[in-house]
Amino acid sequence: DAKTTQPPSMDCAEGRAANLPCNHSTISGNEYVYWYRQIHSQGPQYIIHGLKNNETNEMASLIITEDRKSSTLILPHATLRDTAVYYCIVGGINTNAGKSTFGDGTTLTVKP
């Protein structure tokens, strides 16, 4: 499975949009991009996933570049409870990236 690169940390003001980038330049044609987040001492929480089209759900939006080599997770109105480590991983749909590598993720800190 392809590996991903994320900035180690980001800050965001409460109420503003948080844009978290992810590079996955070696992604293959059948691999999806998944985003999870992990709040301290809890299990990861699924956020969103996509193949090539932009996706939106109640939590976030996922923007995938046309060449699929990078993507951006957008939290439209960040709250203090969105402070967490955000993981971008790529993998096959059949295991929902279950066998993919979790990188170090981006620690997002939402500040009042």
Partner 1 sequence: GAVVSQHPSRVICKSGTSVKIECRSLDFQATTMFWYRQFPKQSLMLMATSNEGSKATYEQGVEKDKFLINHASLTLSTLTVTSAHPEDSSFYICSALKDYEQYFGPGTRLTVT
Residues 8, 43, 53, 81: which binds partner 1 (CB under 8 A)? 43
For 81, phi then psi, to 5°, come to -75, -5
Q: Which range, of 18-26, 42-50, 57-65, 74-82, touches partner 1 by CB under 8 A?
A: 42-50
Write out the E strands in 1-112: 9-13, 18-23, 31-38, 45-50, 55-56, 61-64, 70-75, 84-92, 106-111
Show the binding pattern over residues 55-84: x = contacts partner 1 (CB under 8 A), - = does not.
------------------------------
Q: Does position 46 bind partner 1 by CB under 8 A? A: yes
CB of 101 to partner 1, least distance (A): 8
Contacts of 45 (CB under 8 A, 6+ apart): 36, 37, 38, 39
Q: Which range, of 8-16, 22-30, 62-70, 99-107, touches partner 1 by CB under 8 A?
A: 99-107
Beginning with the edge strand found earlier in the chain, give each strand of the sheet holding 106-111 in spatial order. 9-13, 106-111, 84-92, 31-38, 45-50
Q: Does position 52 bind partner 1 by CB under 8 A? A: no
Kindly tell me which of 5 and 65 has the beta carbon lying closer to partner 1. Answer: 5
Residues 33, 62, 84, 97: which binds partner 1 (CB under 8 A)? 97
Q: What single-letter amino acid sits at 61?
A: S
